Structure 1
């Protein structure tokens, strides 16, 4: 467990033990996001009562506002199915059944990934909930963090090269510059295994 002065400096506020803190970890299937969760569990949370819950839509519940336990939210944002247009050719639009099939597969993959993440939380006895959304991950992470009044966003660094980052953009870079709360970008050491 990190000492309270170090944690206070990271979070931009008082030490975690003094008040309830809402932490969001942005998750995807990458090892980097699982390492970010691992780091958060080991450095920002004390073990507590096991309580995990899954939700597919955002719902803010202040019924436990007197509880001094910190709250961990695991968020996964599925990107919408792209409609491809090939240069020099007619536009190609997928059928509704194809879109539904792809969405179902994305939801199953996201659910399995978040179940694995919840298992990591349960092993550390950390209360957590999940949130699966659809949209642009960069914008959705910032929007939901603001709606949920998150105190800290933790996100794994994928280490994109300069060229890839210039063309594709970096979720962590966007979130760092646009979130209204502190953002902790966590780089995975080369020897980490999920």
Structure 2
């Protein structure tokens, strides 16, 4: 049923969402789907942000994140599941939606946490924006 699955993760905020990973892997194995694991970094290229960092800091942050994501994939994605690790920069929901279009994603598996506000209580701001604007199925997994 699903051919390409996108799992956004946020390794910088601590432990990943084991339930979202579990769900993404379950669908990937069941359907023989390709799993894309996405980490989104803040947009260091914005003039306001870039002024606080030396030019080499952006490249170093991307390299370090790529290594962390590759380690995450090696530890958590079993052999036999086709997987691609992707690091992008920008607003998380925008990058998630762009990746979904870029890889013809037909299922986004996204974790959601209680954020403390009414909007956050209902879904979480990134998950809410992805659900609202995605052109594919979205599975929101609460921890």
TM-score class normalised by the smaller sequence: 0.7 to 0.9
Distance 1:139 1:25 in 2: 14
Evaluate the alpha carbon distance shift between residue 24 and residue 98 of structure 1 in structure 2; reply closer, same or farther with a 3 A threshold: closer
What are the Cα deviations for residues 102-133 of structure 1, in whole angstroms up to 9, with x where unaligned? 4443333333333333xx332xx322222222
Q: In the alignment, is residue 116 of structure 1 matched against residue 75 of structure 2? A: yes
Give 1:126's aligned residue: 81
Report which of the two has the higher share of helix. Answer: 2
Runs of 4+ more than 6 Å apart: none
Q: 2:21 aligns with which of 37, 61, 70?
A: 37
Q: TM-score, normalised by structure 2?
A: 0.75
CA distance in 2, matches of 1:36, 1:98: 31
Please report how far the alpha carbon of residue 177 of structure 1 lies from its aligned counterpart in structure 2 after TM superposition.
0.8
Q: How many positions carry a matched residue from both structures?
A: 137
- Name the CA shift for 1:97/1:121 in 2 (closer, same or farther; >3 Å): same
- Cα pair 1:121 1:127 within 8 Å, conserved: no
Q: Which is greater in Rg?
A: 1
**In 2 relative to 1, CA 78–187 (structure 1 residues): closer, same or farther, beyond 3 Å?**
same
Do the aligned partners of 1:32 and 1:187 also contact (CA within 8 Å) in 2? no
CA RMSD of aligned residues (A): 3.0
Q: Secondary structure at the match of 2:104?
A: coil
Structure 2 residue runs without a partner (length 5+): none
**What TM-score do the two structures reach when normalised by structure 1?**
0.58
Q: How far is 1:32 from its partner?
A: 4.7
Aligned ranges 1:96-175 → 2 under 5 Å: 96-117=55-76, 120-122=77-79, 125-162=80-117, 165=120, 170-175=125-130
Q: Is the 8 A contact 1:32 1:157 kept in 2?
A: no
Partner SS for 2:17: helix
Measure, in 1, the Cα distance between the counterparts of 2:83 and 2:64: 24
